C-alpha cells in the first residue's frame, strides 16, 4: 500500500490541493458550498494522483537511471508496470467523474486538459528539449483554475490572475531543482536547461527573469479587488526576497544557491496564499 501511495506523490498533491482550495475560495459568489468543495478537492486529488502514477509508469526506464528516483516503486520492481498503468487509469477516471458530477463539467474538462497536456506534451518533451519546463508550467498552473471553476462555474480575470502567479512561480522552483540534480537528469537523458547548458548562465537568467516578472503579476489580486493593501505590500516583500535568492544564483552558480531558491519558492507560495486569504475582499 505504501508503494501505491508513493506513486501518487502525496507531498506534491498536497500543494496542488492548496492551490485548488484558494481558487475555490476566490470563485465563491455566495455562501460556502462544502460538498462542492469536497468533490473539487477529492476529484482534483484523484486526477493528480492518476497523472503522477501514469507519469512514473511512462518514465520508469529514465527513473531507473537516476539516483534520486531509482528506488521508486516501479524501477525498484516493487510494483509491476502493468499494475501501475491500471492504477493510474482508474484514479484518473474516478477523478474526472467526481469533478464532472460532484462539481461541474467545466471543472472536469479542465482537469482532463491538465492531465492530457502533462502526459501528452510535457512528459515526452523532457527527453527532447529544455523547453519542456515551459510547456509543463501550463498544466502545472491549472489547480487554482479548477477550484475557481468549481465554485463559480466559469473563469474570470480573477482566475487568470491566480493562474499567472502559479505559472511564473514554477520557473525558479523547477530550474533550481534541475540545477541541483542536473547530473541525474543527464544520466537519464532528460534535457533540462542545466544539462543542455552546463555553465548555468541561462538557468540563472531564467530564474531572475521569472522572479522579476512575478512581482507585478503577484500584485494583480489587489488591483482586481481580490485583496487589499496588506496583501499588496506583503506580496511585494515576498517578491523581492524571491528575486534576491535568484540573483544570488546568478552571482554564484552552485547547488547551495540553487537550494536557496528552492527554499524561497517553497515558502513563497503558502505565505502568499495566506496573505491573500487573510486580506480577501468581496468580489
* Euclidean distance between CA atoms 248 and 193, whole angstroms: 18
Give pLDDT, residue 281: 65
Q: CA-CA distance, 13 to 8, in Å (whole number)?
A: 8
pLDDT at 283: 47
Q: Can you tell me the distance from the alpha carbon of 124 to that of 225, in angstroms, rounded to the nearest whole number?
A: 40
Task: Look at residue 203 in the predicted model and tell me its pLDDT.
Answer: 93
> How far from 135 is each of 124, 162, 175, CA to CA, in Å?
11, 18, 13
DSSP 142: -
Fold identical between 1-155 and 156-283? no
Q: Give the separation between CA 209 and CA 87, rounded to whole angstroms.
A: 39
Ranges in the chain, pLDDT < 50: 283
- What is the pTM assigned to this prediction? 0.94
Where helices occur in the chain by DSSP H, the ranges are 2-7, 10-27, 34-58, 60-64, 81-98, 105-117, 123-125, 132-140, 143-152, 157-180, 182-188, 193-196, 201-218, 220-223, 229-251, 255-278
270 contacts 166 by C-beta, under 8 angstroms: no
Please give the C-alpha separations between residue 139 and each of 79, 111, 147, 236, in angstroms, as whole numbers: 27, 9, 14, 26
pLDDT in tens, 191-221: 999 999 988 899 999 999 999 999 999 999 9
| 77 phi-psi bin (left φ>0, alpha ψ -120 to 50, beta other) | left
Is residue 98 within 8 A of residue 43, CB to CB? The reply is yes
CATH architecture of the domain with range 156-283: Up-down Bundle (1.20)
**Burial class, 152, CB count within 10 angstroms (exposed 0-12 / middle 13-18 / buried 19+):** buried
Question: At the topology level of CATH, where does 1-155 sit?
Answer: Tetracycline Repressor; domain 2 (1.10.357)
* Domain edges within the chain: 1-155, 156-283
What local confidence, expressed as pLDDT, does residue 57 receive? 97
Amino acid at each position: 500500500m505504501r508503494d501505491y501511495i508513493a506513486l501518487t506523490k502525496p507531498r506534491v498533491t498536497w500543494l496542488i490541493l492548496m492551490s485548488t482550495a484558494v481558487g475555490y475560495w476566490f470563485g465563491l459568489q455566495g455562501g460556502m458550498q462544502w460538498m462542492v468543495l469536497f468533490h473539487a478537492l477529492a476529484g482534483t486529488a484523484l486526477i493528480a494522483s492518476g497523472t503522477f502514477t501514469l507519469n512514473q509508469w511512462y518514465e520508469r526506464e529514465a527513473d531507473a537511471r537516476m539516483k534520486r528516483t531509482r528506488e521508486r516503486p516501479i524501477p525498484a520492481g516493487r510494483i509491476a508496470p502493468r499494475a501501475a498503468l491500471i492504477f493510474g487509469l482508474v484514479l484518473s477516471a474516478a477523478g474526472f467523474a467526481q469533478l464532472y458530477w460532484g462539481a461541474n463539467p467545466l471543472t472536469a474538462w479542465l482537469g482532463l486538459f491538465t492531465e492530457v497536456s502533462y502526459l501528452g506534451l510535457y512528459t515526452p518533451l523532457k527527453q527532447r528539449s529544455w523547453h519542456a519546463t515551459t510547456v509543463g508550467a501550463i498544466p502545472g498552473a491549472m489547480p487554482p483554475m479548477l477550484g475557481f471553476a468549481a465554485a463559480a462555474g466559469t473563469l474570470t480575470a480573477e482566475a487568470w490572475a491566480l493562474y499567472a502567479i502559479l505559472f511564473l512561480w514554477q520557473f525558479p522552483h523547477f530550474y533550481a531543482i534541475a540545477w541541483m540534480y542536473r547530473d541525474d537528469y543527464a544520466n537519464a537523458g532528460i534535457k533540462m536547461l542545466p544539462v543542455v547548458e552546463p555553465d548555468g548562465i541561462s538557468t540563472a537568467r531564467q530564474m531572475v527573469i521569472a522572479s522579476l516578472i512575478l512581482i507585478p503579476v503577484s500584485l494583480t489580486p489587489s488591483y482586481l479587488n481580490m485583496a487589499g493593501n496588506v496583501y499588496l505590500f506583503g506580496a511585494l516583500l515576498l517578491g523581492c526576497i524571491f528575486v534576491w535568492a535568484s540573483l544570488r544564483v546568478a552571482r554564484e552558480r552552485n547547488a547551495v544557491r540553487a537550494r536557496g531558491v528552492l527554499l524561497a519558492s517553497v515558502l513563497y507560495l503558502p505565505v502568499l496564499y495566506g496573505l491573500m486569504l487573510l486580506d480577501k475582499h468581496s468580489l
